[in-house]
Chains A and B, each alone.
Chain A
Amino acid sequence: MADASAAGAGGIRIANVGHTYRPPRGRPVTALEEVSLEVAENEFLALLGPSGCGKSTLLYLIGGFLPIESGGISVGGTPVAAPGPDRGVVFQHFALFPWKTVRENVLYGLEKQRLPKAEREARAAAFIEMVHLDGFEDSYPSQLSGGMKQRVAIARTLAMDPGTLLMDEPFGALDAQTRSLMHEELLAILKRTAKTVVFVTHDVQEAVLLADRVAVMTARPGRIKTVVDVADVGGAADAIRDPRFVEKVDFLWGQVRDEALAAQKGGAG
């Protein structure tokens, strides 16, 4: 994977971004404040932080779903203005279309990209197989378990082969075995077609295993607390026994724990 030292032309550049939610009823909530972060082209960045610190919000901003109110974000050198298929998102709550079958869900984006029919079908089948859902092509989301739905969401986004992947706890609903299989699949895909990835997770070990760098966010309002280079560890399945791996995981775990405690205190006060 690419050198993490500088954001290349194809990377993501986030400068002094803030975001405040203003619900029609209730008080405004400042989710993010002065967030600056660079992700190099084809780099894999994992994002850790306590619940409610604004990780999803940051992803939505990069995705172009929320208006950028302060600061700026550019992807591949162009400022983000609207959502687009160049940035594939795996949503935290899956966002599957309930009236479409598994196959139709995966096909939807491919149809929008006007791929030839034969290729669409082939790609959909391949990615459904990749997430081990062959046999469930004609099931509706309401007939699937949480983990299965999540795998459909992953297949749907990966099938579109976006240059940038924004994944919001994509493996959160999976059991440990499936999760580890998915890790291998994801890394294999990235090896075949390099992508820039921002990967939100609560699982420190997963972050170190998959990522080149790990960013830890503070409790709300979220900022970047530290960024740790973990490119030299992880990758292989037996990496978790590597003492350097364990050391990085321990360090990051402590960082996140501090923020989680701070969030609790802030929440109580």
Chain B
Amino acid sequence: MGMRFEQDGIGAAALRLLAGTGSVIALLAAWEVLARAGVVSEFLLPRFSDVVGRIWEDALGGVLFVQIGLTVWRAVLGFALAGLVGIVVGVVMARNRGANWFFDPIVSIGFPSPKIAFLPVFILWFGLDDSSKVLMTVFAAVFPVIVATAAGTEGVDKYLIWSARNAGASERDILHEIVLPAALPQIMTGLQVALPISLIITIVSEMVMGGEGLGGNMIQAGRFADSLGVFAGIVQIAIAGYVLIKGMEILRRRLLAWHQETQQISTF
């Protein structure tokens, strides 16, 4: 495909980094200039420098970390529970015909549908506190993990299993030592889809239920026409999301050093 200089050598890598950072800085600069030029009102687009100032203030007061911490905690807890439940259900589905029969219609309907529609149900059942936010998150994030785990577990090359049996492995060993590692690329993919879902759903839940946390704060700021607060919230959420999702990518690379990655994963 034409020239591909950005793939070759250290010099090219440095150049790419430069162009990359440059374009991000250019975007932020354009934001600042646009806001200062007064093309749009201060309310619709506050200056980037003011947004940074707001975040800095919140950080000095310590509020920032409490709010980010709460949101990240809810999202990560929901994600972790969804991961755990999803892997167990996925493995059981792949290995047990009865379980497969039972869960299959639930999963095939649940997987593509907008689980967030159940939010009022979770509020009705668990009230407005943390548990309903976390459980809503679990419910929304568990399906991609189930689907990916079941597909990965089912698709394990039978010769790998035979080979382990031949070496004298027990059925239990085979699950831990062969099936799960062989399915790990797909399980990781499922988790990588579930993580952004967890963040999205936690934030919506916070917005709808109000209270502490980034989502609640942003909606509150919006109500009080505090556009600086809204933009500060976006920047904070974006950074939190970036860190978590990059962390997950690094974890994948660590765990799957052996795996030849063939495809990028499409997530939210």
Q: Which residues of A contact B (CB under 8 A)?
A: 60, 63, 65, 82-85, 87-89, 91, 93, 95, 97-101, 108-109, 112-113, 140-142, 160
Main secondary structure of the interface of A (DSSP, over half): loop
Please measure, in the bound complex, the distance between the C-alpha atom of A52 and the C-alpha atom of B53, giving whole angstroms.
73
Please measure, in the bound complex, the distance between the C-alpha atom of A91 and the C-alpha atom of B165, giving whole angstroms.
13
Q: Does B59 contact A (CB under 8 A)?
A: no
Q: A95-B160, A97-B178, A99-B181 are in contact. Are A85 and B168 (CB under 8 A)?
A: yes
The distance from the CB of B263 to the nearest CB of chain A, in whole angstroms, is: 15
Partner of A98, one of B162, B165, B168, B259: B259
B258 adjacent to A100 (CB under 8 Å): yes
Residue of A nearest to B167 (CB): A109
Q: Does B184 contact A (CB under 8 A)?
A: yes
The distance from the CB of B157 to the nearest CB of chain A, in whole angstroms, is: 7
Partner of A97, one of B168, B181, B256: B181
B259 adjacent to A85 (CB under 8 Å): no
A95 adjacent to B167 (CB under 8 Å): no
B167 adjacent to A85 (CB under 8 Å): yes
Which 3 residue pairs spanning A and B have beta carbons closest together? A109-B167, A95-B159, A83-B165
The distance from the CB of B178 to the nearest CB of chain A, in whole angstroms, is: 7
Interfacial chain B residues near A82, Cβ < 8 Å:
165
Partner of A63, one of B157, B162, B168, B184: B162
Q: A98-B258, A142-B258 are in contact. Are A112 and B159 (CB under 8 A)?
A: no
A99 adjacent to B184 (CB under 8 Å): yes
Residue of B nearest to A139 (CB): B258
A65 adjacent to B258 (CB under 8 Å): no
Interchain residue pairs with CB less than 8 A apart (19): A60-B162, A82-B165, A88-B166, A89-B166, A91-B163, A95-B157, A97-B163, A97-B181, A98-B182, A99-B181, A100-B258, A108-B167, A112-B169, A113-B168, A140-B257, A140-B258, A141-B258, A142-B258, A142-B260
The distance from the CB of B183 to the nearest CB of chain A, in whole angstroms, is: 11
Residue of A nearest to B181 (CB): A99
B259 adjacent to A83 (CB under 8 Å): no
Q: Does B173 contact A (CB under 8 A)?
A: yes
Q: Does B34 contact A (CB under 8 A)?
A: no
B160 adjacent to A112 (CB under 8 Å): no
Interfacial chain B residues near A87, Cβ < 8 Å:
166
Residue of A nearest to B178 (CB): A97
Interfacial chain A residues near B181, Cβ < 8 Å:
97, 99
The distance from the CB of A100 to the nearest CB of chain B, in whole angstroms, is: 7
A99 adjacent to B259 (CB under 8 Å): yes
A65 adjacent to B259 (CB under 8 Å): no
Considering the complex, which residues of chain B in the window 39-88 have a beta carbon less than 8 Å from any beta carbon of chain A? Answer: none
A99 adjacent to B167 (CB under 8 Å): no
The distance from the CB of A55 to the nearest CB of chain B, in whole angstroms, is: 15
Interfacial chain A residues near B169, Cβ < 8 Å:
112
